[in-house]
Structure 1
């Protein structure tokens, strides 16, 4: 790979993953880097005329324009001219440093905004990706991408690329300056510094790629271990297994820190080798001038070389460190590229992309519907044909793995069927109207997700605080029979429920889940084994709330216990993704052998 392609290839990769807003800002950053490099060179170059004037003030008389300029400024003595030259040199250096500081400030701001924009784009994209994506990916890996990989790509990869651009431009202009003064010295400088760093870089670049891969893996493990340990604290405490989780976390952190330490060491160590060659070069140049008998006449040039060398050594060091860092963070960029390709190629599922409201006045109709999970060998739903009239309650029963939850997920528009279709009042459900359909559906899962926020915010989940309709919150709580216990809490609807609702009982959490489902006043309510984890008395209280709602809404209840669905208008039994029975409880008990076997379990839990 050529040097040019070696520089451009990572820049091209990074440019492609940047959000559009960050791409626009990158141009300004590059332009300011060029300006800063020119000012840095000017500050170095200004030392040459200053030292020449100091060594021989009469040199000014050799240039008519210099004499005229000094006269116009009222500088009529050599001492005044030397002072003016010194002030000008300091002024140029000061302006150069101000521009360099401004460039650093802009780069820092730009990197922060790029990190924010990229993480936000990914997070938003994840939220809108198909539900099947989230089933196949664990949250710890997504968290690593949003946190660690974005930080590596922007704070590591992009920051290093900007360093390559900024310091590379400065190095090129400084070397050009030395070439103008003395081509042989410039050639020697490039050979000593460039070849030295190139040799070391080639020796360790492969190791950096390996370290980067280990860093990504270790970051994932650290995040997963921490999440699992803190989420399962109750079970770990009861089992007395805290130490096992600690050992695994410590092992992952040790590997992560080891890779980061190795990367830092690889970036810093070459400096101490190259500095020896750099300063040996300065000594050699000085000796060369002395041996040539140039003596004090060479002092201005030596001052220039010394100052330029003092700037070039850290420039080469930073370029080398940037190249090593780019290699180290390559795997994180690859991870981002993969997820961004998925996110950016997704079919947009937003309110703006919907064709409008989807009416539900008569029935939901499923015809020949089949579905298979991406990684499965067999159909989870096989040729399902079912009609659900408006305001009818339907119970879905069957053993574990029969397809009950999958059918509910398809009805919710979370999965698209492999074949067949769903029609709402004769209108096919598709990607253009599924969000409109979900606005008409309320969903209560077996385990209600609660955030560490107030009851009000949990009922109106996902709504900005200023957009929450408190009257709708109270109405939903009242319909879910949650109002009584909420009013007994110290802060009422402002009570913080704790992480995952740990400050509430199981029945209270479920009733908040029902209230959340009712907040937007849906036409259809889906209960996915929403009472299976409750005791009998609590389940009766929750189911009473459900039955009170069934008169004016279409209800779909996935049953863990048969008594939960006994009062439903119809019961649909599934087995291996196929409907094997459909009718009222009394009809199925009388005519359906599969249901009779289920009912014959003495209303025990369905396993």
Structure 2
């Protein structure tokens, strides 16, 4: 498949298409072959049908009929016998042909759906196997936001048009070769003219269709952007009275988009409206006018079967030719998505999963004495500035450690490094003095939990949110209630009409900020993690609730190591060790009292807090 001249594509596109098909499992490629086989049968039946139709028309018109099938008696019998038998066979062939066409359409739809699943499952698995850094790049965010669009475009504008193109080209090719073989040079002339007209129209229409499709997609993206911006800004929209601004913007983009949409729908229909009358004109010019020019009744009578067969053949051919034209243009419309799809399909897994056999158990990697960042340097992918600069940080197992400092100092990044979510460019994470190996990373993360500043909740029940990522049939309700109790949320949940089964809406829309934060805490408690990171995890709680949650954490801290990132002094006061960050380095560390003595900036923080 080095090139596809029928598609008029560059070799680069053909190579990309070949690469795309290579990601399919062998059973899908076998499905392609079966599809082509059925398409060839459709073309073959059409050839037989047209030959018999010519015979029937000749029989009824009184033309001389050579006994081309002498072994079948009815074709050598009387005209009445021939007409009856040929008509009966034609009826059977019509039903068989349309049955096969329905089968062909069903196979195309089935194969397209299966291929969407093949690509979708592979891409989604590849994405989930990536490290956290992969999801935080701007280019990646845009790509992931378009993931479903890419898959649908590949299915609707690459795979399905390709299936349609191949099956149509096979059935049209078999029909053309068969008719030319049966009828001769006149058929070759007619069909050559038809194909030439299609090629000419394609060359004229395609650039305009491509432009209309591009503009349609661009304006569709813009209109979605307007909708999302207006919904996300609903509060400001009402306070500023900006409804008319967004309405006008929506109306203007929508009107322009529909103009291009109208063109994108109309242009593919042009060949059908031009080719049908052109085909009849060519047919009459090639077959009928020469017979009329001879002036003899017999000559005219003899041309009737040929004209009938060619007219019907032209009508039969118009359907696959139109399908070929449509599929080529739809295919071209999907070409921009091939590169992105190949990028995602070829994405190599970057980490092992906790469920994989080669990954050790949680107990096998959990340290007994310390977790350490050892001379660690880190910067984000494609960034020049270091976020973490050669820090040494020790977290004794079973202790509570706080990370404090100004925003942007590197606290959250250091926590991500401790959890193995980021990989340092220099230095290492060590457990009990032994560097953490890549094969142990998933097991180590299985020991950890984190409650971040930006909480993401599922559009599901409270029960499923607490037992995150666990099959609903495997959730232990007693453990869910224990986790909710520790997060000071059990009383609220017990008063809800549906209790644990209450749906919380998209990202916890039906909960207050404090309730969402406590639900995220309950999720971490349910996991019974050995290491718990709280990144401003109590910032949305009032003082009383924060005190209750911290009391619960005191109990939990007896069986887990806690790392707290916080600005509230009440949260860090009882920590065993506090690290103060500034500019990506550890400026000072010690317990609360020691840090006041060692760091002027920490003393200033305490002074401001005490007012």
User: Runs of 5+ in structure 2 lacking a partner?
Assistant: none
Deviation at 1:255, TM superposition (A): 5.3
How far apart in 2 are the matches of 1:216 and 1:377? 35
1:328 lines up with 2:329 in the alignment = no
Q: Is the 8 A contact 1:444 1:514 kept in 2?
A: yes
Q: Is the 8 A contact 1:145 1:336 kept in 2?
A: no
Q: Which residue of 1 aligns with 2:194?
A: 193
Deviation at 1:6, TM superposition (A): 3.3
Q: Is the 8 A contact 1:452 1:497 kept in 2?
A: yes
Question: Secondary structure, in 3 states, of the residue corresponding to 1:413?
Answer: coil
1:20 lines up with 2:24 in the alignment = yes
How far apart in 1 are the matches of 2:441 and 2:69? 82
Deviation at 1:110, TM superposition (A): 1.3
Deviation at 1:448, TM superposition (A): 2.2
User: Runs of 5+ in structure 1 lacking a partner?
Assistant: none
Deviation at 1:130, TM superposition (A): 2.2
Deviation at 1:281, TM superposition (A): 1.0
Deviation at 1:507, TM superposition (A): 2.2
Q: Is the 8 A contact 1:211 1:328 kept in 2?
A: no
Q: Which residue of 1 aligns with 2:320?
A: 315
Identify which of 457, 461, 483 aligns with 2:464.
457
1:38 lines up with 2:50 in the alignment = no
Deviation at 1:385, TM superposition (A): 1.1
* Distance verdict in 2 for CA 1:538–1:226, change over 3 Å: farther
Equivalent pairs counted in the alignment come to: 597
- Structure 2 length as normaliser, TM-score? 0.89
Q: Is the 8 A contact 1:562 1:603 kept in 2?
A: no
Deviation at 1:109, TM superposition (A): 1.3
Deviation by residue 1:411-435 (Cα, 9 ceiling, x = unmatched): 2222111111101234433432222
Identify which of 529, 545, 549 aligns with 2:552.
545
How far apart in 2 are the matches of 1:521 and 1:159? 48
1:339 lines up with 2:344 in the alignment = yes
Q: Which residue of 2 aligns with 1:356?
A: 360
Deviation at 1:392, TM superposition (A): 0.6
Question: Secondary structure, in 3 states, of the residue corresponding to 1:530?
Answer: coil
Question: Secondary structure, in 3 states, of the residue corresponding to 2:146?
Answer: helix
How far apart in 2 are the matches of 1:459 and 1:250? 43
1:420 lines up with 2:424 in the alignment = no
Q: Which has the larger displacement, 162-171 or 242-251?
A: 242-251
Q: Which residue of 2 aligns with 1:402?
A: 409
Question: Secondary structure, in 3 states, of the residue corresponding to 1:478?
Answer: helix
* Distance verdict in 2 for CA 1:39–1:78, change over 3 Å: closer
Q: Is the 8 A contact 2:464 2:472 kept in 1?
A: yes
How far apart in 1 are the matches of 2:568 and 2:292? 99
Question: Secondary structure, in 3 states, of the residue corresponding to 1:602?
Answer: helix
Deviation at 1:191, TM superposition (A): 3.6
How far apart in 2 are the matches of 1:80 and 1:256? 61
Deviation at 1:374, TM superposition (A): 1.8
* Distance verdict in 2 for CA 1:385–1:140, change over 3 Å: closer
Identify which of 487, 493, 504 aligns with 1:497.
504
How far apart in 1 are the matches of 2:10 and 2:173? 17
Q: Which residue of 2 aligns with 1:133?
A: 134
How far apart in 2 are the matches of 1:127 and 1:251? 39
Identify which of 568, 582, 596 aligns with 2:603.
596
Q: Report matched runs for 1:105-116 at 5 Å.
A: 105-116=106-117
* Distance verdict in 2 for CA 1:300–1:70, change over 3 Å: closer
Question: Secondary structure, in 3 states, of the residue corresponding to 1:92?
Answer: helix
- Structure 1 length as normaliser, TM-score? 0.90
Question: Secondary structure, in 3 states, of the residue corresponding to 2:147?
Answer: helix
Q: Which residue of 2 aligns with 1:411?
A: 418
* Distance verdict in 2 for CA 1:209–1:477, change over 3 Å: same
Q: Which has the larger displacement, 10-19 or 187-196?
A: 10-19
How far apart in 1 are the matches of 2:258 and 2:140? 22
Q: Which residue of 2 aligns with 1:97?
A: 98
Q: Which residue of 2 aligns with 1:6?
A: 8
Q: Is the 8 A contact 1:57 1:82 kept in 2?
A: no
Q: Is the 8 A contact 2:288 2:300 kept in 1?
A: no
Q: Which has the larger displacement, 136-145 or 41-50?
A: 136-145
Q: Is the 8 A contact 2:36 2:166 kept in 1?
A: yes
* Distance verdict in 2 for CA 1:63–1:253, change over 3 Å: closer
Q: Is the 8 A contact 1:115 1:150 kept in 2?
A: yes
Q: Which residue of 2 aligns with 1:163?
A: 164
Deviation at 1:98, TM superposition (A): 1.0
Q: Which has the larger displacement, 440-449 or 542-551?
A: 542-551
1:48 lines up with 2:54 in the alignment = yes
How far apart in 2 are the matches of 1:223 and 1:440? 41
Deviation by residue 1:423-471 (Cα, 9 ceiling, x = unmatched): 1234433432222111111111123222232110111122222222222
Quote the RMSD (CA, aligned, Å): 2.8
Question: Secondary structure, in 3 states, of the residue corresponding to 1:600?
Answer: helix
How far apart in 1 are the matches of 2:494 and 2:212? 56
Identify which of 551, 556, 562 aligns with 1:555.
562
Q: Report matched runs for 1:15-414 at 5 Å.
A: 15-18=18-21, 19-21=23-25, 22-56=28-62, 59=65, 64-67=70-73, 78-137=79-138, 141-142=142-143, 145-250=146-251, 253-254=254-255, 256-284=257-285, 285-292=287-294, 293=296, 294-341=299-346, 343=347, 345-350=348-353, 351-352=355-356, 354-357=358-361, 358-414=365-421
